[in-house]
Every structure is written in structure tokens, then in C-alpha cells.
Amino acid sequence: MKKELFTILFVCICTICFLLIPNKSKFPTIVVLPILISAITKYVLGDWDKDYQWSYLDVFFWISTIGTSYFTILLFKRFV
């Protein structure tokens, strides 16, 4: 549980940091940023299982990191 919580916190912080950088590409931020943040999280922290094989935890990892980043972007744009 500790690793999952740290991953979600890392995703939120990274998403907010990347939102402070202006988007000069033609791709919408709400599409590109969750995929980018999920890939960075996978590279820096790794996923939640111990083996190098695909498992159901990998599906939860990708859904939760992309979803958390997406909702962080929505909240950031709404309140800031």
C-alpha cells in the first residue's frame, strides 16, 4: 500500500510540475501529459509487482497513473 500511495503522489507532483511548462506543441495537454507522466513514473519508480512478467497489477498501475494525471490536470485547470 505504501508503494501505491507514493506512486500516486509522485504522479500528482510530476503532473503539476509539467503543467507549469507551456505547451508549444499541437497536441492537447490533457491527452499527452498523462501518457508522458505514466511513462516517466514507470521508468523512475517501476511498477507494483516484483516480476518482469505482465500481471493484473500492471493494468491497475497504468489505469491509476493515467487516471490520476488526467484528473490532476482537470483540477489544476479548474482551480488555477
| pLDDT tens, residue by residue, 7-64 | 999 999 999 999 999 999 989 999 999 999 999 999 999 988 887 788 888 999 999 9
Report d(CA 64, CA 20) in Å as an integer: 22
- Specify the pTM: 0.91
Give the residue extent of every domain in the chain. Answer: 7-79
**Confidence at residue 65, expressed as pLDDT on a 0 to 100 scale:** 97
Residue 1 confidence (pLDDT) above 80: no
What angle (nearest 5°) sits at the alpha carbon of residue 56, between those of residues 2 and 67? Answer: 65
Q: What is the pLDDT of residue 54?
A: 84
C-alpha span between 73 and 34 (Å, rounded): 9
Mean pLDDT of 62-72: 97
